[in-house]
Structure 1
Amino acid sequence: MSEWLESAISRGHQIDDWLATKRIQAIDLLSTTPWPTRKTEAWRYTSLRAIQNSKAKNIETSANLLPQNITDLSAIELVFINGQWDKTQLPDVLPKGLSISLGSDLNKEQQSQALANFSDIKPKRHLFGLVNDALAQDVVIVNVEDGFNIKQPLRISSLLSLGAESHTRVQVTLGKESHLAVIEDVQAEGDSLCTAFVEYQVSAKAHLDHYRFALQTGSNVAVGGCHFNLLDHSSMHSTIVAFGSDLSRLDTDIIHSGQFVDAKLNAIYLLDGNELFDLHATVEHAVPNGTTEENVRCIVAGRAKAVFNGRIHIHRDAQKTLAELNNRNLLMSKTAEINTKPELEIYADDVRCAHGATSAQVDDKALYYLQTRGIDRAKANVMLNFGFINELIDLMPNAVLSEWIRPIIRQRFSEMEVRV
C-alpha cells in the first residue's frame, strides 16, 4: 500500500457523520486493495506516480473562485470550491420539481434514503471511487420529481486553488418521465488533486443529457467517475471532452437495468506535451432490448499518452441487444502513444454487436492538397483534425455548449501543431 493511500485511509477514519457506515465499508475495502502497478490490468498503461508524489492538501479557507463563463448559457450553478459546496452560488429559487440539498442538512428519513443509494451504482472495483467514498464530506443530493422537465441545465463545477486537494460527490435522481441536463467540469489552478464522482439514477421513461468537460491541464491530477443506472424506456446522451494533464483518469459505467433503454456515449480527447488521459468505459446490458452507441475519438501530439478501455458486457438474459463501439485515434507525432482496448463480452445469442479501433496519422496527401490551395501547414492541420472530431461536436444536444467548445478545441489544435 502506498503512503498516499495510507494517509487517505487515516483521514477517512477521522470523519464521523451521517455517512459513517458507508465510509467504514469503503475503508475496509481500501485496506485490502493492493495499490495498482503496471501489472494491474486496469492501470497497465497509467502510472500513479503523480498521485504518490502529489503535495496537494486540504485547504479549508474558501477561495474566491467562480466557474468559467460559458457565453449564452443559463445554468443552475452547483459549485464546489476546494471540495466544499458553495451554496451562495446556487439560485435562491430553483425550478419547480427540482431539489438540491446537502446530505448533512436532510432529515433522518431523507438521509436514510440517500444513504441507501450512496455508492449503489458506482462499482466497488474503482479504487479512487472508494477513496472518494471515504473522504467526500459535502455530498450533494439532487432530485427531479416525476414528470418534470427542468429546462435549465444543472452545472456541477469543482474549482481548485493552487495546490488544493478535493473530493466531491453528487447523487442525481431523475423521477419517472422527467428530463434533466447536467454539465460536469473541473477547473484547477495547478498542482491540485481531485476525485470527482457523480452517480445518476434515471427512472422509467426519463431522459438525461450529460456532459463532462475535463479541461484541466499541466500539473493537475484528476481521477473521477460518472456512473449511470437506467430503468425501463429511459434514455441518456453523454458527451465527454477532455485534455490531458500529469494524470487524468475517468471511469464511466452505464448499467442497463431496464428494458428498451437507449444509451449514447461520445468522447473526444486532445493531448499534447507529456500529458496523459485515461478513459475506462463499461456498459452492462443486464436485460433485453437495450441499445448502446459509443464513439470515442482521440488526437495525440508531442509525447502524450492516450489510454482507452471500452468494455460492453452482454449478459445471458440480454437478448435483442444492439450495441456498437467505435474508437478512432489520430497520431500527430512519432513520439505520441495510444493504447486502446475495445472489448465485447457476449453471453446472449440474439444480439447485434460490433466494435472496432483504428489508429493513424494525418494523411500527407490531404495535407499537401490543402497547402497547394494556399493554406499554410498549421491551418491545414487544424482543418483536418477538426474535421476528424467535428461530427461528435455536432451531435451534442445543447447548441450553446457545442458553439462554446468549438473555439476552445480550435485553439488547442493550434497549440498542438506548434509543438509537434
Structure 2
Amino acid sequence: MMSEFQELAIAFAAEQQSPAWLADFRRDAAQQWLNRAWPTRKTEAWQYTSLLPLQKAGVSGWSVAKQPADIDFVEVDATRLVFVDGIFSTELSDELPAEIVRFKDANSAQQDLINRYLGKIVDTERHVFSSLANAWVDDGVLVAVPKSVQLQKPVYVVHVSTSGVTPTVANQRLLVVTETGSALTVIEHFITTDEQQNGFVNSLSEIHVADNARVEHYRINLEQEGLIHIGGVHIDLHRSAHFRGFTIAQGSRLKRIDYQVNHRGEGASLDLQGIYLPRNNQVVDYHTNVQHMVPHCTSSEVFRGIIADSSRAVFNGRIYIHPHAQKTLAELSNKNLLTSAKAEIDTKPELEIYADDVRCAHGATVSQLNATALYYLQSRGVSRQEAEVMLSFGFINELLEQIQSSSVQDYLLPRIARLFGRDNELLQQIHHD
C-alpha cells in the first residue's frame, strides 16, 4: 500500500531543476518508488525500526541555499566538496581535479559514465529508499579514477544540514568508479549546525572497485539527534579488488545505514569496521549484507556499539555464500555494551552457506559494564564517572586505533569525549596507553 509520504516525496521531485540527461532515469525511479510497498514492522528488513518519525516529520520541500557560519571540518589535506542542505557550495569547496566532477557539470563522456553505473550497483528491489534517491537525483559527485592512477589527496565530501523553521529534505549522492589498478581514499562526512534539526536526509553512495583497485572509505555520521537520516553504501568488488571501510554514527530520531557488498571477482577482499553510539532516546540501525558470489574471496566485519540512556540500536549483519563461492573466508563480529538498564539492542547476525569448502564464523555479544572492573578502578582512586569512561572507551578503542587516516582519528577522539560528556584529556591518555 502506498503511503502518504511516498506521494509527497514524488511531489518534491517535480519541484527540482534536474539535468535533462537524467530525466528518464528519474522518471523510471519515481515509478518504482510509487510501486513499492511501504515498509512496516512486518517487513523483515524494517521489523526493529519504525518509519513513523519520517511519516510524522511534516517535511515541506527543498531547502534554499544557505551559508553556515561555522562548520566542524576534519583537518585533512584533501580535495573538499561541500553541500549545504543538498546544495553545492562553491565558496566552501576546493577547485576540483579532472577525476572529480559534479553531475550538473558533467560533460558528455562523464554523463555516459554516470549513466553506465548510477543506480546499477545498488539493488533497488532490496533497498526501498534507493529508489527515492534515484527519483530525487539532480546533482551529486562523480569520482572517476583512471587505470593505474592513485589519487594523491583524499576526496572529502561534506554534507551539512542546517536548522529551519519548517523541516526540509536533502538528497545526497556519490558515485565512485575506479579502473584497473587504481586507488583512492574517500571521506564522507555528515554533520549539522548547532541548532535544533528537524529535516530528512536521504543519502546513497555507489562504489565500483575494478580489478586490482583499492578503495579506503570513511563514513562519519555525527549529526544532531533531531535529524532523520537514511543512507546506504553499495559496493561492487571485482577480481583482486580491496575495499576497506570505517563507519561511525550517533543516533537520531531515526537513523538507518545499509552496507551492501558484492564480491563479483575472484580474490576480492573486504575489511569493514563500524561503531555506533546512540544515547538519550536515539535510534540507530545498521544493516550489512555481504554477497560472496565467486571463489577465493574474503570478508571481515567488526562492529561495536555502546548504547546509553534510553536509546536503542539495531544491528543486522548478513553473509551469503553462493554455491560457486568455494574457498571463501568470511567473519563477522558484533559486540554491544549497554551502559543503562533502559538501553536496548536488537542484534541479528546471519550466515547462509551454499558452498561446502569455506571457512566462516559469526557472532554477537551483549554485555554491561563490568561491576568488578568498576570496583577495582574506584578502589584505586578513580571516580565512578572516569571508570565508566575508561571501560566504555576501551570497548571501542581497538577499532579507533586501526583507523589508517590520522586526520580522521584526531577528529574523532575529542568529539567522542564530548559525546561521553567527559574530559578529553582522559580519553587521549587511554588511547595512547
TM-score range normalised by the length of the shorter chain: over 0.9
Cα distance in 1 for partners of 2:403, 2:254 equals 26
Within-5 A mapping of 1:249-260: 249-260=256-267
Q: Deviations over 1:105-138 (max 9, x none)?
A: 3233432331121111111121111111111211
Cα offset, 1:10, TM superposition: 2.8
**Alignment partner of 1:2 is 2:6:** no
Within-5 A mapping of 1:155-166: 155-162=156-163, 163-166=167-170
Cα offset, 1:413, TM superposition: 2.1
Cα distance in 2 for partners of 1:109, 1:293 equals 36
**Alignment partner of 1:313 is 2:314:** no
Q: Deviations over 1:150-188 (max 9, x none)?
A: 122111111122133200111111222111111112112
Unaligned segments of structure 1, at least 5 residues: 416-420
Unaligned segments of structure 2, at least 5 residues: 423-433
Q: 2:330 is matched with which residue: 297, 303, 323?
A: 323
- SS of residue paired to 1:143: strand
**Alignment partner of 1:134 is 2:129:** no
Alpha carbons 2:321, 2:352 under 8 Å: kept: yes
Cα distance in 1 for partners of 2:219, 2:113 equals 27
- SS of residue paired to 1:70: coil
Write the letter of the residue equivalent to 2:105. Answer: D
Mean CA deviation greater in 11-20 or 235-244: 11-20
Q: 1:211 is matched with which residue: 209, 212, 218?
A: 218
The match for 1:27 is 30
The match for 2:105 is 105
Specify whether residues 88 and 99 from structure 1 end up closer, same or farther in structure 2 by C-alpha distance, changes over 3 A only.
farther
Cα distance in 2 for partners of 1:406, 1:93 equals 29
Alpha carbons 2:12, 2:62 under 8 Å: kept: no
**Alignment partner of 1:262 is 2:269:** yes
Write the letter of the residue equivalent to 1:154. Answer: V
Cα distance in 2 for partners of 1:93, 1:257 equals 31
The match for 2:77 is 74
Alpha carbons 1:160, 1:187 under 8 Å: kept: yes
Cα offset, 1:414, TM superposition: 3.0
Cα offset, 1:13, TM superposition: 4.7
- SS of residue paired to 2:277: strand
Cα distance in 2 for partners of 1:60, 1:272 equals 28
Mean CA deviation greater in 275-284 or 392-401: 392-401
Write the letter of the residue equivalent to 2:8. Answer: S
The match for 1:413 is 420
**Alignment partner of 1:167 is 2:168:** no
**Alignment partner of 1:185 is 2:189:** yes
- SS of residue paired to 2:385: helix
Q: 2:365 is matched with which residue: 348, 358, 363?
A: 358
Cα offset, 1:57, TM superposition: 3.7
Cα distance in 1 for partners of 2:210, 2:89 equals 28
The match for 1:41 is 44
Fraction of identical pairs, as percent: 38
Specify whether residues 32 and 93 from structure 1 end up closer, same or farther in structure 2 by C-alpha distance, changes over 3 A only.
closer
Cα offset, 1:67, TM superposition: 4.1
Alpha carbons 2:320, 2:352 under 8 Å: kept: yes
Q: 1:301 is matched with which residue: 299, 302, 308?
A: 308
The match for 1:418 is none
The match for 1:395 is 402
Please identify runs of 4+ aligned residues in structure 1 that moved more than 6 A.
Answer: none
CA RMSD of aligned residues (A): 1.7
Alpha carbons 1:58, 1:82 under 8 Å: kept: no
The match for 1:56 is 59
Cα offset, 1:392, TM superposition: 0.5
Cα distance in 2 for partners of 1:89, 1:407 equals 24
Alpha carbons 1:121, 1:229 under 8 Å: kept: yes
- SS of residue paired to 1:388: helix
- SS of residue paired to 1:18: helix
**Alignment partner of 1:90 is 2:97:** no
**Alignment partner of 1:151 is 2:152:** yes
- SS of residue paired to 1:359: strand
Alpha carbons 2:285, 2:315 under 8 Å: kept: yes
Cα distance in 1 for partners of 2:280, 2:393 equals 19
Cα distance in 1 for partners of 2:95, 2:40 equals 47
Residues paired across the two proteins, number: 412
TM-score (norm: length of structure 2): 0.91
Specify whether residues 147 and 88 from structure 1 end up closer, same or farther in structure 2 by C-alpha distance, changes over 3 A only.
farther
Write the letter of the residue equivalent to 2:270. Answer: A
The match for 1:383 is 390
Cα distance in 1 for partners of 2:116, 2:146 equals 19
**Alignment partner of 1:347 is 2:354:** yes
- SS of residue paired to 2:391: helix
- SS of residue paired to 2:421: helix
- SS of residue paired to 1:19: helix
Cα distance in 2 for partners of 1:243, 1:370 equals 28
Q: Deviations over 1:298-340 (max 9, x none)?
A: 0101110000110011111111100000000011111111001
The match for 1:123 is 123
- SS of residue paired to 2:21: coil
The match for 1:235 is 242
Q: Deviations over 1:325-360 (max 9, x none)?
A: 000001111111100110011111110000000001
Cα distance in 1 for partners of 2:384, 2:267 equals 48
**Alignment partner of 1:275 is 2:278:** no
The match for 1:11 is 12
**Alignment partner of 1:199 is 2:202:** no
- SS of residue paired to 2:280: coil
Cα offset, 1:93, TM superposition: 5.5
Cα offset, 1:14, TM superposition: 5.5
The match for 2:427 is none
Cα distance in 2 for partners of 1:278, 1:79 equals 26
Q: 1:285 is matched with which residue: 285, 292, 299?
A: 292
Cα distance in 2 for partners of 1:112, 1:2 equals 34
- SS of residue paired to 1:7: helix
- SS of residue paired to 1:356: strand
